[in-house]
């Protein structure tokens, strides 16, 4: 009788132990219907807003700065989608705003860049009119970035006055006006807490380095866009990681 009880107890113990082991094993398995977020690589979206400097007038698509930026992110292990570019050569602030309104865009992007204002200056518009238009665009950019100012990058306006295209014009006046527009967009950018990158001084090196311009003697080449990309990447990588 005692042996029977021992055998029964022993059997019960091994049965319980076996069930416990099985439950632990099952719990450790990844159920095929469960979404394991830790094993899924995040894909980042990128919206680039601007004018000819953003779309990359006279350069191939891979050479413009949004695509160079996306490529640089991928090289650093950040899976970035092909950028959505809302830009057109000659666009002013109000034309960019109209372009945004007419475009089918996602509600949210992981990264948004904004570079706008050179055509406002070129058309002789006063900087006081530029400020509220730029501010409205920046607020839209922040909204597209999911209300995360740290995921918005504003680039200063390059100085086209150093290019061959500006020959015969008052280069000093162009430079002073570009500086005034940039002082305004930097002030607004600081107000909203977005990241601001000044590329203006670098663009002025085009007066001595023709390789920084395309064949039209006005727009940046892939080489200059690569410099903009190098300036922006460290900050963006830090924010997205």
Of the candidate ranges 39-43, 84-88, 144-148, 222-226, the one whose mean pLDDT is the lowest: 39-43
Q: Distance between CA atoms of 141 and 134, rounded to whole angstroms?
A: 10
Exposed e or buried b for every residue in 98-126, given b needs 16+ CB within 10 A? ebbeeeeeeeebbbbbbbbbbbbbeeebe
Contacts of 100 (CB under 8 A, 6+ apart): 49, 86, 137, 140
- Whether the per-residue pLDDT at 231 is higher than 70: the answer is yes
Mean pLDDT score of the chain, rounded to an integer? Answer: 89
The whole-number pLDDT of residue 241 equals 82
- Whether the per-residue pLDDT at 23 is higher than 60: the answer is no
Closest CA to 208 of 162, 168, 176: 162
* pLDDT per residue as tens digits for the range 132-151: 999 999 999 999 999 999 99
Q: Distance between CA atoms of 76 and 193, rounded to whole angstroms?
A: 25
More confident residue, 207 or 19: 207
More confident residue, 129 or 28: 129
| Greatest alpha-carbon span in the chain | 115
**pLDDT band of 12, cuts 50, 70, 90:** low
The whole-number pLDDT of residue 7 equals 54
DSSP bridge partners of 48 = 85, 113
Q: Distance between CA atoms of 65 and 50, rounded to whole angstroms?
A: 11
Q: What number of CA atoms fall less than 13 Å from residue 24's CA on the CB side?
A: 6
Q: Distance between CA atoms of 73 and 78, rounded to whole angstroms?
A: 5
Domains in the chain and their CATH numbers? 43-240 (3.40.50.1110)
Residue 166, Cβ density class (10 Å: 0-12 exposed, 13-18 middle, ≥19 buried): middle
pTM (2 d.p.): 0.84
Helix (H/G/I), strand (E/B), else coil: 216: coil
Q: Distance between CA atoms of 152 and 38, rounded to whole angstroms?
A: 26
Q: What is the DSSP letter of 170?
A: -
* pLDDT per residue as tens digits for the range 169-212: 999 999 999 999 999 999 999 999 999 999 999 999 999 999 99
């Amino acid at each position: 009788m005692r042996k029977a009880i021992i055998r029964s107890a022993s059997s019960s113990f091994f049965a319980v132990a076996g069930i416990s082991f099985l439950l632990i094993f099952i719990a450790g398995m990844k159920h095929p219907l469960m979404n394991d977020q830790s094993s899924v690589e995040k894909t980042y979206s990128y919206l680039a807003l601007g004018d000819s400097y953003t779309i990359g007038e006279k350069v191939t698509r891979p050479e413009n700065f949004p695509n160079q930026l996306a490529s640089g992110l991928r090289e650093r292990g950040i899976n970035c989608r092909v950028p959505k570019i809302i830009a057109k050569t000659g666009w002013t602030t109000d034309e960019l705003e109209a372009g945004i309104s007419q475009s089918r865009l996602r509600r949210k992007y992981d990264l948004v860049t904004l570079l706008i204002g050179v055509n406002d200056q070129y058309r002789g518009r006063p900087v006081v009119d530029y400020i509220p238009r730029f501010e409205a665009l920046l607020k839209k950019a922040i909204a597209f970035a999911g209300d995360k100012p740290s995921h918005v990058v504003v680039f200063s306006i390059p100085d086209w006055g150093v290019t061959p295209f500006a020959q015969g014009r008052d280069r000093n006046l162009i430079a002073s006006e570009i500086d005034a527009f940039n002082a305004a967009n930097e002030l607004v950018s600081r107000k909203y807490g977005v990241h601001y990158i000044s590329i203006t001084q670098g663009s002025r090196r085009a007066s001595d380095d023709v390789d920084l311009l395309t064949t039209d003697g006005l727009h940046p080449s892939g080489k200059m866009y690569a410099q903009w990309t190098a300036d922006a990447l460290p900050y963006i990588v830090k924010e997205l990681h």
